[in-house]
Amino acid sequence: MKDILTAPFMVEMIRTTTNMYAHGWDERNGGNISLLLDEAEVKEYLDMQPIHTLETGFAAPELCGKIFLVTGTGKYFKNVQYAPDVNLGMVRLVENGTRAELLWGFTDGGRFTSEFPAHMMSHVARMKVDPKNRVVMHCHPANLLAMTYVHDLDEKTFTRTLWQMCTECIVVFPDGVNVLPWMLCGTNEIGVATAKKMETARLVVWAQHGIYGAGKDLDETFGLIETAEKAAEIYLKIAHLPLKNTITDEQMHLLEARFGVKAREGYLN
C-alpha cells in the first residue's frame, strides 16, 4: 500500500494546520478541523481495519459509514507537521454515528477533538445544502473574536459591516455570517445550535470564542475565514474614527451582477 503521509488529503491537512497556526488562529490546542474523505481513495493507503472504537456521544445516521480525518483533542496545530500520526486521526462512523472506528492515527492513545459533535452535526447540515461540502473548520481569529465584544451581534448588522470593509467580501461569502451568543463549548447543545446556523451560512461566529467555517475543500474554507478575518481587522482599525466613505448597497449590487453571486435575501436595500 502507499504511504499515507504522501496522500494528497494528508499533505493538505498538514499544510493547512501549519498555516493556521502561523496565522495565529490556533493558539495552544485551540481550533479543530474535520475533513470528509473518499473511501476509495483511503483504501489506497489503509487496510480499513479498525484499531478500536470510540463513543461519539451523539447520533448522526446520515454520516454512518463516512470516513473523516480529524484533529485530536488537546493537540497543538503547530505539532501536526512533526507528528501527524499523533495529532491527527482517521475515523469511520458506525452504528448510526454513535460510535467511531479509529482507522489510523492518535497513536498516543488520544481521541478526536472535543468539538466532534459540532463538526459532525455541521457536516450533516451543510451536506443538505451542498452535497459537495467536505470540510468543517474551527479556529480563533483575533479580530473576529474582538469584534464580538464591541459590535452588535445581530447577524444582518454583523454581516453588512464585514461586507462594507472589503470589496471582495460579498463575493466570497454572499450568504453572510451567522452569529451565536456565548455558549459552553464541547457540548451537543452548541453542536445543534451551530448546525442550525450552518443551514443558511458557511460561516458561524461563536461570540467571545471564534468562528466555524464550512466548504468544499480545505483551501475554500480557509479562504472564507481569512477573508472575514481581514474584514474584521479593517473594522477594528476604523471603528473609532469618523466614517467618510463606505461600500454602498448600490455598489454591492454591482458586485453581485459582475461576479454572478446573490447576496443573502433581505440583507441589501
**What residues are annotated to the active site?**
115
| Beta strands per DSSP E along 75-140 | 88-94, 99-105, 135-139
Q: If you count them, how many residues does the chain have?
A: 269
- Reduce the DSSP state of residue 82 to 3 states and report it: coil
CA distance from start to end of the chain = 57
- C-alpha R_g of the chain: 19
C-alpha–C-alpha distance, residues 116 and 96, integer Å: 15
C-alpha–C-alpha distance, residues 144 and 123, integer Å: 23
- Reduce the DSSP state of residue 153 to 3 states and report it: coil
- For residue 190, what are the CA distances in angstroms to 41, 67, 118, 121, 226? 32, 23, 7, 10, 23
Q: What is the DSSP letter of 263?
A: P
Residues forming a β-bridge with 205 = 179, 211
DSSP string of 25-59, one letter each residue: SS-TT--EEEEEE-HHHHTTT-----SEEEE-SS-
